[in-house]
Structure 1
């Protein structure tokens, strides 16, 4: 234990722990993407490693960007934080404008720029504004929290300017993409925790966050018929289906909406049991479970 404490007390211990954790997650992620996509990729294109190769390329690009960014001084990130946040907000406003135009007038493009679900496309280039927002929020919030220092214990210091900006991002992201909004919320909570904000603050933040999620679900439900993802009460249906899941027989016989994927995911988890069927041996990935390689890869991991 003394030797372990000595290793953890070294100045770069947290840095190496972070590197090893990220490296392990990257390896597990690539392995599970290959496991979940190999059968489908081989059936469709004859190349079982097509998705793995694509993800590996992105991983290499990410590692290269990380290597470059870790050598930049902190003042560079501070200088970039505000412009990055401004660009993220502008892109989100543009995406929401195009989505609103599509709902009202059936037009989702301005010249060569067009909106496709949650992304903006310009020719062959496609970008999800929320990914820029995640990056910008981390940079900007870190700058604000580091600048405020010990006074973070006061609500007034948290309320300006952190909460208004976070609230704006949640509104711009949350109506169209609740999942990404929850990721942004997790980022904020994690950064506040790392910055040493008092524990009692998180109880209030949790209540505010749950109320906001409820409002977004209600807003999507009220938007039925507007042409948005909420037009068929998508979020409310997923939530009620999770709280009160039907039996598989009821789901298939009555063709209930929002339950097929839930039932197949439960089959996968149940089929795996405590110890799983073995790496690469999942049967639900054979086109039984929709989005098995991304949204529902947890079920494939469990199987």
Structure 2
């Protein structure tokens, strides 16, 4: 069984020994920074022509991503120095704030409607997406709940149903936007956390079955979702190739052009107004075209390292009885895994088309800042776990 190593003693200028406040997980930090830099480079490449046409400058999307990265580093720095216990105490308040924001975004004049969905709050030069904040609120609240009501969760139906009802309320608000992608991700994340938190298998599988039925009903409740599902089955059909299946076919063309080593950075043809959202939801296709299958392997390897370290930190925290930190890490790991899997699956045609960003890589302000903040929280949990080990 792997155990955490105690923090090594440091020596100051006067020769006195002391223990550092925290120590980062270097593999987690390095893989996360590598994904950030890869994303910035690929956004600059994928968005250069669209940026030139829309804004008159070639690197608008890259500059905006860089600004969001700076804001993300500021948020991450704040989270890094804030003890995890405060997040546990503030978890209920953060959840309430998330619900308030999810309601506000539905109000005309406050929420900004884009392409038929009301998912953003306009903050002048920036847009804020409440659903991203809701992911934090749900993860932190459920983590605190699993610690506070652990016996009730593992032994009674009421302990299991309380967080499920809160989850249902969050799902309802997200469907009113609508944001089907966030619904699927949050459902999977919270149910996964409850399973790891010790709910009975029967309760978990019943909830999973209910969630799958609900997702199926939601998928067929709107005409545009049905069209996407039909296009997913045969995107090359005459009625789909220039309609609901257009993005998928253009993405698959990008994968085919990339072959093993790609056509070279900056040489993509699909980004020249063929593939919509090339710098955002379909950036994986541009990576495949310009960097080839080797580039995709590198991208996936970085995610494997990052997510493995997140779950590893969660396991170490659980072994040292830091249960809130453990459940928070598990939730964050599931969240990143689900989003990366869905985004890559959509780009490769394994899943129906659904707008969902690739964490740390796709263009997107709120998603990027939230993702960087969550990585910082995992690092803080890791440092505190090592200090707990060092005191024994």
Which residue is 1:131 aligned to? 132
- Distance (Å, rounded) in 2 between the aligned partners of 1:282 and 1:163: 45
Secondary structure of 2:122 counterpart: strand
Does 1:86 find its partner at 2:96? yes
Q: Identify which of 95, 108, 123 aligns with 2:105.
A: 95
Mapped to 2, the partners of 1:155 and 1:237 lie a distance apart of 42
Give the one of 234, 252, 266 matched to 1:244: 234
Q: CA deviation at 1:47?
A: 3.3
Q: Using the alignment, how far apart are the partners of 2:119 and 2:192 within structure 1?
A: 25
Q: Specify the alignment match of 2:264 in structure 1.
A: 278
Q: Of the two structures, which has the highest relative contact order with CA contacts closer than 8 Å and spacing of 6 or more? A: 2
Give the conservation status (yes or no) of the 8 Å contact 1:217–1:236. Answer: yes
Distance 1:15 1:158, change over 3 A: farther
Give the structure 2 partner of residue 259 of structure 1.
Answer: 245
CA distance in 1, matches of 2:4, 2:180: 40
**CA 1:197 to 1:114, structure 2 compared with 1: closer, same or farther past 3 Å?**
closer
Indicate how the Cα distance of structure 1 residues 137 and 295 shifts in structure 2: closer, same or farther if over 3 A, else same.
same
Cα deviation, 1:44-95, whole Å, max 9, x if unaligned, reads 4453332112111111211221121122122311222111111211222343
Correspondence 1:299 to 2:282: no
Counterpart of 1:54 in structure 2 is 64
Corresponding pairs, count: 269
The 3 A distance-change label for structure 1 pair 21 and 122 is: closer
Question: 1:269 aligns to what?
Answer: 255
Q: 2:146 — aligned with what?
A: 145
Inter-partner Cα distance in structure 2 for 1:44 and 1:260: 22
In structure 2, the gaps of 5 or more residues are 8-22, 290-392
Partner residue in 2 for 1:105: none
Choose from 5, 14, 17 the match for 1:10: 5
Normalization by structure 2: what TM-score?
Answer: 0.60
Q: Which runs of 5+ in 1 are unaligned?
A: 99-107, 222-232
Q: Name which of structure 1's ranges 13-22 and 204-213 shifts more when overlaid on structure 2.
A: 13-22
Find the residue that maps to 1:161 and give its secondary structure: helix
Judging changes above 3 Å, is the alpha-carbon distance between structure 1 residues 150 and 22 closer, same or farther for their aligned structure 2 residues?
farther
Cα distance in 2 between the residues matched to 1:154 and 1:33: 49
Tell me the SS of whatever aligns to 1:283: coil
Give the match for residue 181 of structure 1: 183
